[in-house]
Structures are given as C-alpha cells and as structure tokens.
Structure 1
Amino acid sequence: MILKWGNLALLVLFPLAWIAPLAHAGLLPFFGTSQITVLSGLRTLWQSDVALAVIVAAFALVFPILKTLMLSGVHFRLLTRRALPLLALLGKLSMADMFLIAVYIVLAKGVGVGRVEPGWGLYLFTACVLASILLTFATMRQVRR
C-alpha cells in the first residue's frame, strides 16, 4: 500500500520539482535569470540547441513520468511483471539528468562568472529520482515473491 501511495505522490512531486529552483545564479549569462529550474533550463536550451533540448526533456520529464505511470500500472495490476525490465531501463535513463544538472553547475562555476548555489528544487528533484528508484526496486522484490 505504501508503495502505491509513494509512487502516486511522485506524480505530483516530479512536476513540482520541474518548476522549483535547481540553482540560484549570481550573474550567469547562459541562463539570463537568477533562478534556474528544469523548465527554464529547457527553455534556454531550446533557443540554442533544439535537438539537445528534446533529449534533455526526454530524460528529465518524459522518462521519469512514464516510469512512474508504468509503476502505477504494476501496482494497480494493469501491467504484468513483464513490464519490470522496461521500468528498470527507464529508471536508469531518468537518473542521467541528475548528472546533466551537476555538469551545468560545475561548468557555471568553472567559467568563473558569478556564483551558482544549489536550490531546494535540486534536492527535491534528486529525492524524487531516488524515491522512484527505491519504489521500483521494492516493487520488483514484492512482485517476484
């Protein structure tokens, strides 16, 4: 029961994490704003590199929500256990965006223009991804029993 509710909570928490500040930037010319969110980062990326923006959107938005919806399908017995390998793959793809965000922060600090401090949204987004991984793992163990 807790797996179902925890997973359903992610359907609310992921979109909240997309609009929450991932980082606060002081004088950062790449993003044109003092707060960086997943959506503002995608908007900025869209203006300079559409292909990369589509790839990042898939990893940061589509894969995590798709995985969460599929896991709900398993919880509510709408999907069979044959969906579990696909869930594991989506989990790995969803985690890749955390690396990308970390690279953005490191690059911004390395440029030496202004300062970048992580925002609460980065922690929320990380917690959502980690919770999703744990919920998937626990669900797989439960289904295999």
Structure 2
Amino acid sequence: MSVSGAIRPAAPVRALNLALLVLYPIAWGAPLMRAGLLPLFGLKEISVLTGLQSLWASDVFLALIVALFALVAPMLKTVCLTLIHFGAIGPRGLPALRILGKLAMADVFLIALYVTLAKGIGVGRIETAWGLYLFTFCVLASLWVSHKTQQSHENR
C-alpha cells in the first residue's frame, strides 16, 4: 500500500530510521557524562532529560525551547521519514522534512556538549558516558538517513 511515486530508499536505510524511533528516547535518558566537583566526591550522571529537568527548575521557557528543538523536532523528523519511506505521505512530505531538519537541533546540542567536555568545568571533573556515544550515533544516523532519502528522491 504505497502512494504513487513513493520514495523507497534501500531497506537498511528504512530499518535504521525505524531503529531511531527506539534509540532516540533511550539516548535521551542515557548518561551522557558524569560530572563532579572534586575527584573525592561521587560523580553525578547527566543525561539530556536530567539536563532539561534542571533547566525546567530555573527557566521554564528556555526548557520548552530546548525540548522542542532537541527532542520533539528530531523525533518528528524521524516519524516524517518513516511515513515517506513507507509511502504514507509520498514526496509531498519532503518540504516538511526539510523544515524539521532545520529545526532539529540535536546536532547543534551535541556539538555544544562536546565543546563543554573539551573545555571541562575548571574546578571539577567530567567523564564521558555511554549515552554520549549512543546520542552521537543517533544524530549522525539521522543525518545519513535524511541524506539517503533525499538522494533516493533525486534519483527517481
């Protein structure tokens, strides 16, 4: 049941995009880093969601903006890609995908995180955690899936 003129990238591209529907939420809850004031004290695990919780406590408006651009837009982009891949909306969904791709700031958020890790916090200690690698994979995979989908459309 596909729409006439549906964009059908290779099966691995579609499968990876479906996996992102599960992997993104896992990455948001996974520890990105462990941070602490001094090496003698325990390190606190920080994830995307705990970061948003902290931001929510201090600035609700900013927390909503970050949640929109770092969580909602990337997930909507992934859902939109899924609908395009399986012919539910066809090529007419590509303009929406381009807009969502520009709004999905997960890649910018990730770069900011790496800069924070590289600079350190001065007094304390920061260690990377497995969630940072998973989140990095999700962002890069999403960019690749978008590229391959666009490429499939152009090659039709």
Q: Same fold (TM over 0.5)?
A: yes
Matches within 5 A, 1:107-118: 109-110=120-121, 112-118=122-128
1:44 aligns with 2:54: yes
The count of aligned residue pairs is 139
Task: Output the CA distance in 2 between the equivalents of 1:54 and 1:140.
Answer: 30
Q: CA deviation at 1:103?
A: 4.8
- C-alpha root-mean-square deviation of aligned residues, in Å? 1.9
1:53 aligns with 2:32: no
Q: CA deviation at 1:81?
A: 1.2
Out of 78-87 and 98-107, give the one that drifted further: 98-107
For residue 98 of structure 1, what is the aligned residue in structure 2? Answer: 110
Unaligned runs of 5+ in 2: 1-10
Q: CA deviation at 1:96?
A: 2.4
1:136 aligns with 2:146: yes
Task: Output the CA distance in 2 between the equivalents of 1:49 and 1:104.
Answer: 20
1:82 aligns with 2:92: yes
Higher helix content, 1 or 2: 1
Q: TM-score, normalised by structure 1?
A: 0.86
Task: Output the CA distance in 2 between the equivalents of 1:103 and 1:93.
Answer: 21
Task: Output the CA distance in 1 between the equivalents of 2:49 and 2:129.
Answer: 14
For residue 27 of structure 1, what is the aligned residue in structure 2? Answer: 37
CA contact (8 A) 1:21 1:35 kept: yes
Q: Percent identity?
A: 51
For the pair shown, which has the larger CA radius of gyration, 1 or 2? 2
CA contact (8 A) 1:27 1:34 kept: no
Misfit runs of 4+, over 4 Å: none
Task: Output the CA distance in 1 between the equivalents of 2:99 and 2:28.
Answer: 22
Task: Output the CA distance in 1 between the equivalents of 2:92 and 2:117.
Answer: 38
